[in-house]
Structure 1
Amino acid sequence: MNVLKNFEAVFAVALGVAVSAANLVGSPETAAPAAQAISTSVATPSKMAVVSVPAKRMTALEKQRSLEDERLLAKQEATRNRI
Structure 2
Amino acid sequence: MNVMKNMEAIFLAAAFLTGVTSVASAASESARVRQEAQLSVQGQKMAVVVVTAKRLTAAEKAAL
Normalising to structure 2: TM-score of the pair? Answer: 0.48
Higher relative contact order (CA 8 A, sep 6+): 1
